[in-house]
């Protein structure tokens, strides 16, 4: 997502670094590259035209912002404009009935499961129901997703009228004090009058707080005409973009708000139930410009590392008692945060280069296997690991003695580093480390 766009924009901005003033020639050349990058990313042409026009007006003959060079000045202007077209403020999901609509095959039912999972983790009481009577498989899929997430699935056996199902689901949700009732609806391979009439009847019956359109990000600007038609008929309040982790170039994400006037509320970034993120325009703009996304990175670290375990680990580090068992936990935490290539893109300064860094998650799993093959005593005191023990550990983990030696060397170097942090505690309070260690390096 956005890799091509990130590289092209960074290249255009870098060429301005070193100049004393933003001349018309320099600005036009940079804007030409940005325009081509946006078009190649499949951003809707009118959005590109207006975006570049505003950039030109704000950059031509502008004095360099104090403390920044010309390249950084343009980067700041581009960032502000990107946040603007992406929607400025992060939209909230209003409590009540959330109606999910869209064409068949965009991942609508799976998205409901992901949103239900996300809301539950926020401490909300959630229930789901399906009005898609034409596809029993869709109902069964949503029921299984609800069971996986641990939320109620409202089922009304024998009922075949989508409107009646929706009404009964709303009544039950009110009785049970549900914060969010997520309603799945029927989809088609294309827009037709029958579908729209059914959706309008369901909407009138339940008076939803939100009407969310689920779109496949890989469709690019081709999805816009259909999205506009749904908005005209149903009055959409938000959009969820699925498959943002695939080959999507990001054009739809950059086009929706300006073309249709509807904010993006969530983006799907994988196949697992946890793979959904609230859409923050400022964070997305940072990723597009290769500036990383520190806020989301910290949130992922917090969700992967339980607070009590993080505190216990910090205390052990300060006491100089960092063992191989602790290293194993760090490695496991790293894997829990998600694919490492995605994590690297969130690190400030690495966003534009993350694709060039080779990340081998198998190597981390191999290190965990090596530690698992050790006895509790060996993990506490690696100094007792002689050649015969290394050979046994290598056999047990399916690795080599060289792999074991490499891990032990990395552990010793890491322990030395942490010892220096212990000595120079930066005035941290007793029992607390000055920062968290979400990564084992």
Tracing tokens 């600007």 back to the chain, one arrives at 221
CA angle 305, 369, 373 (to 5 degrees): 115
d(CA 35, CA 27): 12
Q: What mean pLDDT do residues 397-419 have?
A: 86
Integer Cα distance of 390 and 351 in angstroms: 39
Rounded-to-integer distance, Cα 346 and Cα 344, Å = 5
State the alpha helices, DSSP H only, in 131-266. Answer: 136-149, 162-175, 193-206, 224-234, 251-260
First to last CA, the chain: 26
pLDDT of residue 438: 40
Mean pLDDT of 84-90: 84
Output the 3-class SS for 67-106: CCCHHHHHHHHHHHHHHHHHCCCCCCCCCEEEEEECCCCC
Average confidence (pLDDT) over 408-429: 66
Asked if the model's pLDDT at residue 93 lies above 60, the reply is: yes
Distance (Å, rounded) from C-alpha 296 to C-alpha 303?
11
Residue 427 has pLDDT above 50, yes or no: no
- Other CB atoms within 10 A of residue 359 CB: 14
Closest CA to 332 of 372, 295, 299: 372
Name 98's bridge partners.
Answer: 182, 210
Kind and range of the H or E element at 419? helix 401-423
pLDDT in tens, 1-12: 566 777 788 788
Query: Which of 81-95, 151-165, 272-286, 292-306: highest mean pLDDT?
Result: 151-165
Contact (CB, 8 A) for 2 and 38: no
What mean pLDDT is predicted for residues 288-296? 62
- Tell me what the mean pLDDT of segment 252-265 comes to: 90
**Structure tokens that stand for 303 in this block:** 């969700």
Say how far apart CA 407 and CA 103 lie, in whole Å.
50
Instruction: Yes or no: say if 15 and 30 are a contact pair by the CB < 8 Å rule.
Output: yes
Say which residues have a Cβ less than 8 Å from residue 147's Cβ, sequence separation at least 6: 153
Q: Which of the four pLDDT bands, split at 50, 70 and 90, describes residue 24?
A: confident
Cα 5 from chain centroid (whole Å): 18
Query: What domains can you pick out in the chain, each with its CATH number?
Result: 3-86 (1.20.120.140), 96-288 (3.40.50.300), 297-423 (1.10.260.30)
pLDDT at position 241 over 60: yes
Q: Which of 58, 4, 76, 60 is nearest to 28 (CA)?
A: 60
In this prediction, residues 18-27 reach a mean pLDDT of 74
Question: Beta-carbon neighbour count of residue 323 at 10 Å?
Answer: 17
Query: Any bridge partners for residue 278, and if so which?
Result: 266
Place of tokens 């690696």: 382
Q: Which tokens is 324 given?
A: 């191989």
CA distances (Å), origin 297, targets 268, 283, 332, 340, 438: 16, 11, 16, 11, 9
pLDDT digits (tens, 9 = 90+) for 307-356: 666 666 666 666 667 788 888 887 877 777 666 556 655 555 555 555 55
Beta-carbon-side half-sphere exposure of residue 316 (alpha carbons within 13 Å): 18
Give the chain's length. 441
């Amino acid at each position: 997502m956005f890799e091509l766009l990130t590289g092209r924009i960074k290249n255009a901005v870098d060429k301005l670094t070193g100049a004393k003033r933003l001349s018309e020639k320099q600005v036009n050349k940079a804007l030409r590259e940005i325009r081509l990058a946006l078009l190649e990313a499949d951003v809707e042409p009118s959005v590109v035209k207006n975006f570049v026009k505003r950039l030109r007006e704000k950059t031509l003959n502008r004095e360099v912002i104090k403390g920044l060079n010309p390249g950084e000045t343009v980067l700041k202007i581009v960032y502000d404009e990107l946040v603007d077209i992406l929607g400025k403020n992060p939209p909230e999901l209003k409590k009540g009935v959330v109606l999910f609509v869209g064409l068949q095959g965009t991942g609508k039912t799976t998205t409901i499961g992901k949103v239900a999972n996300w809301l539950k983790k926020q401490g909300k009481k959630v229930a789901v129901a399906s009005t898609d009577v034409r596809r029993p498989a869709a109902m069964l899929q949503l029921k299984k997703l609800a069971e996986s997430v641990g939320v109620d699935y409202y089922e009304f056996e024998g009922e075949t009228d989508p409107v009646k199902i929706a009404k009964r689901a709303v009544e039950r949700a009110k009785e049970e004090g549900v914060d969010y009732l997520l309603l799945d609806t029927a989809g088609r391979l294309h827009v037709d009058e029958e579908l729209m009439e059914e959706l309008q009847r369901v909407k009138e019956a339940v008076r939803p707080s939100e009407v969310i359109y689920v779109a496949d990000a890989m469709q690019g600007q081709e999805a816009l005409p259909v999205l506009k038609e749904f908005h005209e008929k149903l009055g959409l309040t938000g959009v969820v973009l699925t498959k943002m982790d695939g080959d999507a170039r990001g054009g739809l994400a950059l086009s929706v708000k300006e073309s249709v006037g509807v904010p993006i509320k969530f983006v799907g970034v994988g196949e697992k139930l946890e793979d959904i993120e609230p859409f923050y325009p400022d964070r997305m703009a940072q990723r597009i410009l290769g500036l990383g996304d520190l806020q989301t990175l910290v949130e992922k670290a917090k969700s992967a590392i339980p607070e009590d375990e993080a505190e216990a680990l910090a205390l052990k580090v300060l006491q100089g008692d960092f063992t191989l068992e602790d290293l194993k936990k760090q490695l496991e935490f790293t894997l829990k945060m998600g694919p490492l290539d995605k994590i690297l893109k969130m690190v400030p300064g690495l966003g534009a280069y993350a694709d060039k860094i080779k990340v081998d998650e198998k190597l981390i799993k191999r290190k965990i296997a090596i530690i698992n093959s050790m006895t509790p005593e060996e993990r506490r005191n690696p100094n007792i690991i002689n050649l015969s023990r290394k050979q046994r550990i290598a056999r047990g983990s399916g690795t080599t003695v060289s792999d074991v030696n490499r891990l032990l060397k990395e552990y010793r170097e890491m322990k030395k580093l942490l010892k220096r942090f212990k000595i120079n505690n930066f005035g941290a309070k007793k029992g607390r480390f000055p920062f968290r260690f979400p990564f084992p390096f």
